[in-house]
Amino acid sequence: MTTSGSETTSGSEPAEPDPVTDVDIEDRQSTRYIGPMRVRRTDGDERTTDRRLLEWVDPRDAERSAERTMRDSWRVLRIQSEFVAGFDALSDVAEAVTVFGSARLQPGSPDYELAVRVGRALGAAGYAVITGGGPGAMEAANKGAHESSATSIGLNIELPFEQHLNPWVDLGMNFRYFFVRKTMFVKYAQAFVCLPGGLGTLDELFEALTLVQTKKVVRFPIVLVGREHWAGLLAWMGEVLVAKRMVSPEDLDLVTVVDEPDEAVEVIRAAAQRRAARGEAD
Ligand SMILES: CC(C)=CCNc1ncnc2c1ncn2[C@@H]1O[C@H](COP(=O)(O)O)[C@@H](O)[C@H]1O
């Protein structure tokens, strides 16, 4: 899909208006996803399903409050259907690893290329790769998985702006609710790999850590790739959180930090072998 009028001109010629491209751009601006639906020319209401769910309605406003109560009850069915669709789509996935990382990495940047190599190494080791299906590290990891002929899975999320599954996703879904999507990230993976990233990545990392710490999941290696990126956070956790006894020293052992994709694969494999030796089911 062409996204810029200048792509159709050569050298220093001024860009000619391109009717197809202009329509395309207008299209992209007015397009968004509501759950699995792609909609255009909406009324400008940019609230996502998640945001509507979490919105506070003043109970003193009788009319809105009554309407809200009714809608919330119906919403439960939609949430339920999203779980059903997710379980249906992913139940045949064999061994998989979920990869998180910055949505903002640009192709060609060192971290993007690192993410491609991570996807490729996991794929070559026989793992399907699950990502958030978006751009940056997600796209890169899906690309690596695709290149190594592994199943490349993208679990996208409805956002208030246009959102596409990246082109390297072979099995993709679009979720309305963050918490449903997160369940899929955990339920269908044997391990988490976190590449350098920002708030979204940190959220996903700490959710995984909390699940392992509280033994809600017991089969989960968590691997951080990129020592330099993660060093400051881990040092702070040791110097502040452990020192204040807000986390125990063993909690820091729940993550393994590596630099190379092959090391990440090795950590995941070794954990699987330990599990197998103990006779634990996945
Ligand atoms: C360019 C841009 C902001 C696109 C947003 N598009 C996204 N599409 C899908 N998942 C996402 C997106 N943004 C954040 N996430 C989730 O949050 C993580 C990245 O957040 P961050 O860039 O580190 O904070 C990803 O692992 C992904 O699961």
Distance 29 CA to ligand 1 centre (A): 19
Question: Is the pLDDT assigned to residue 281 strictly greater than 70?
Answer: no
What is the torsional sign of CA 79, 90, 119, 253? positive
Residue identifier of the C-alpha nearest atom 10 of ligand 1: 132
Task: Give distance in angstroms: CA of 100 to centre of ligand 1.
Answer: 8
- Ligand 1 proximity of 103 Cβ (cutoff 6 Å): yes
Mean pLDDT, the chain, integer: 85
Which ligand 1 atom sits nearest the alpha carbon of residue 201? 23
Answer whether 126 contacts ligand 1 (Cβ < 6 A).
Answer: no
Q: Is the CB of 135 under 6 A from ligand 1?
A: yes
Ligand 1: which of 112, 156, 159 to mutate, most ligand atoms within 8 Å of CB?
Answer: 159
Q: Judging by beta carbons within 10 Å of its beta carbon (0-12, 13-18, 19+), is residue 245 exposed, middle or buried?
A: exposed
Q: Compute the distance between CA of residue 48 and CA of residue 55 in angstroms, rounded to an integer.
A: 11
Question: Using CA positions, which residue lies closest to atom 9 of ligand 1?
Answer: 134
Around 250, how many Cα atoms within 13 Å sit in the side-chain half-sphere?
3
Does residue 199 line the site of ligand 1, with CB under 6 A?
yes
Q: What is the pTM of this model?
A: 0.81
Flag the least confident range among 77-86, 118-127, 157-166, 243-252. 157-166
Confidence of residue 178 (pLDDT cuts 50, 70, 90): very high
Q: Across residues 53-71, what is the average pLDDT? A: 74
- Lowest-confidence range among 191-200, 215-224, 273-282? 273-282
The type of residue at 60 is R
> Looking at residues 88-113, what average pLDDT do you find?
96
Which residue is it, tokens 């449903």? 180
Residue 54's pLDDT is 76
Please give the number of the atom of ligand 1 that sits closest to the Cα of 99: 26
**Cβ contacts of residue 117 below 8 Å, gap of 6+?**
144, 261
Ligand 1 centroid to Cα of residue 197, in Å, is 9
Judged against a pLDDT cut of 60, whether residue 18 lies above it is answered with no
Establish whether residue 111 lines the binding site of ligand 1, counting it when its CB lies within 6 angstroms of any ligand atom: no
ipTM beyond cut 0.90? yes
Q: Is 101 close to ligand 1, i.e. is its CB under 6 Å away?
A: yes
Q: Under a CB-based contact definition with an 8 Å cutoff, are residues 55 and 42 in contact?
A: no
Residue 127 CA to ligand 1 centre (angstroms): 22
> Please, what is the end-to-end C-alpha distance for the chain in angstroms?
41
Q: Length of the chain, please?
A: 282
Alpha carbons 7 and 20: distance in angstroms, whole number: 12
- Whether the per-residue pLDDT at 88 is higher than 70: the answer is yes
Structure tokens at 134: 């978006």
The mean per-residue pLDDT over the stretch 63-83 comes to: 80
Residue 204 pLDDT exceeds 60: yes
In the prediction, which pLDDT does 58 show?
77
The domains of the chain, with CATH numbers, are 84-277 (3.40.50.450)
Instruction: Quote the CA–CA distance of 241 and 243 in Å, as a whole number.
Output: 5
Residue 157 C-alpha to ligand 1 middle, in angstroms? 9
> What's the whole-number mean pLDDT along residues 9-17?
43
- Rounded CA-CA distance 159/137 in Å is 18
pLDDT digits (tens, 9 = 90+) for 126-167: 999 999 999 999 999 999 999 999 999 999 998 877 678 999
